[in-house]
Amino acid sequence: MDHLADASNQNSQPQTQISHLALDIGGSLIKLVYFCRYSDSCRDDYDDDELRSQNDSLCSKRGNSRPVLEGRLHFAKFETSKINDCLEFLRSMKLRIGGFHESTAPLSDKIFIKATGGGAYKFADLFKEKLGVSLDKEDEMECLVTGSNFLLKAVHQEAFTYLDSQKEFVQIDPNDLYPYLLVNIGSGVSMIKVDGDGKFERVSGTSLGGGTFWGLGRLLTKCKNFDELLELSHQGNNRVVDMLVGDIYGGTDYAKFGLSSTTIASSFGKAISDNKELDDYQPEDVSRSLLRMISNNIGQISYLNALRFGLKRIFFAGFFIRGHAYTMDTISVAVNFW
């Protein structure tokens, strides 16, 4: 979650022509999306291949014979606790924001920027004070559902299932999309029953989300950022930390109730031993257990809510997932297990 731009280098850049800019200021992260036309000198600010690929699917490319939007979407993110870096980035980029028509109004003029998330309320005064811009607040759940419906209907191969490390794209009939459960995993988790365009209800959620993974992870490991913790979990073995059914039953399962010996009986249950301190555990094993604990739990609560409302499809979204295979696999396993 390093911020993308080195603000100190921006002053030497030519002015950037941005036709649209929008922000989502969540509890952990600020997400920026902005659109540059090809004639502009917009820098290519992607920091990961997944965002690049998402972007490529949404926009035409320079090399294409028939550009559709004649421009490109750019994504950027900052940690919310580093809001000042974000403000500095916006200032030093000398962004110019307008519609699709040429605009020469600098950012410091009285401009409204679309913004969503709790931070649109929390930091409204700060944006006004530091950049002179007003945040035009939109409701985050409405934006989430509208965006989700748009992507699911308009973008081929947007949705996919994930199980046993296999990603399989799902082609959804737009006439058979609703109702579905949208599970948005940010710092916390919101579960939204979507019944149609603009028709939705937040039916459930859990406080065990991405913020819990990263918050507990920071306290338990020496990791310095979210992605490092996630990367570490790849190499870990949760069985070192979790108490499995087999640990309780002496290596055998509890077949009568469908509990195999490798089922996690108690997350972090092995850490109850007096013999080991935090430093005695490998951070990769701790990270893996944390990820399984939180992903399993989200999968289970999602499944129970889908059952409750008779919803046949659950879509998982949010920064916590971001194409991370093991996370998706764990959530899928949990949905299928319960």
For residues 75 to 104, the per-residue mask of contacts with its own copies, x marking binding by CB under 8 A and - elsewhere, is ----x-x-----------------------
Site for its own copies in 11-30 (CB under 8 A): 26-28
Given a contact cutoff of 8 angstroms between Cβ atoms, the answer to whether 114 and 136 are in contact is: yes
Among 135, 216, 321, 335, binds its own copies (CB under 8 A): 216
Task: State the CB neighbour count (10 A cutoff) for residue 323.
Answer: 15
Q: Which is nearer to its own copies, 148 or 204 (CB)?
A: 204
Q: Which is nearer to its own copies, 71 or 211 (CB)?
A: 211
Helices (H), the chain: 49-58, 83-92, 119-122, 124-131, 140-154, 210-220, 226-234, 245-248, 283-308, 325-337
Among 75, 162, 281, 315, binds its own copies (CB under 8 A): 281
Q: Which is nearer to its own copies, 245 or 328 (CB)?
A: 245
Site for its own copies in 293-322 (CB under 8 A): 293, 296-297, 300-301, 304-305, 307-308
Q: Which is nearer to its own copies, 97 or 314 (CB)?
A: 314
* Closest distance to its own copies from the beta carbon of 317 (Å): 16
Instruction: Report which of 113, 152, 124 is spatially closest to residue 23, judged by C-alpha positions.
Output: 113
Place of tokens 């916006």: 90
65 touching its own copies, by CB under 8 A: no
149 touching its own copies, by CB under 8 A: no
Q: Which is nearer to its own copies, 71 or 186 (CB)?
A: 186
Place of tokens 């962004």: 95
* Closest distance to its own copies from the beta carbon of 275 (Å): 8
Site for its own copies in 112-141 (CB under 8 A): 117-119, 121-123, 139, 141
Q: Which is nearer to its own copies, 158 or 285 (CB)?
A: 285
HSE, side-chain direction, 13 A CA sphere, residue 305: 26
Q: Which is nearer to its own copies, 43 or 239 (CB)?
A: 239
d(CA 4, CA 244): 41
Give the single-character DSSP code of 14. P
166 touching its own copies, by CB under 8 A: no
Q: Which long-range contacts (CB under 8 A, 24 or more apart) does 90-95 make?
A: 90/131, 91/130, 91/131, 92/5, 92/7, 92/8, 92/10, 92/11, 93/5, 93/10, 93/13, 93/16, 94/10, 94/13, 94/15, 94/16, 95/16, 95/18, 95/21, 95/34
* Closest distance to its own copies from the beta carbon of 134 (Å): 16
Site for its own copies in 217-246 (CB under 8 A): 218-220, 224, 226, 241-243, 245
Among 15, 41, 252, 262, binds its own copies (CB under 8 A): 252
Phi, psi of 109 (to 5 degrees): -70, 170
d(CA 272, CA 242): 10
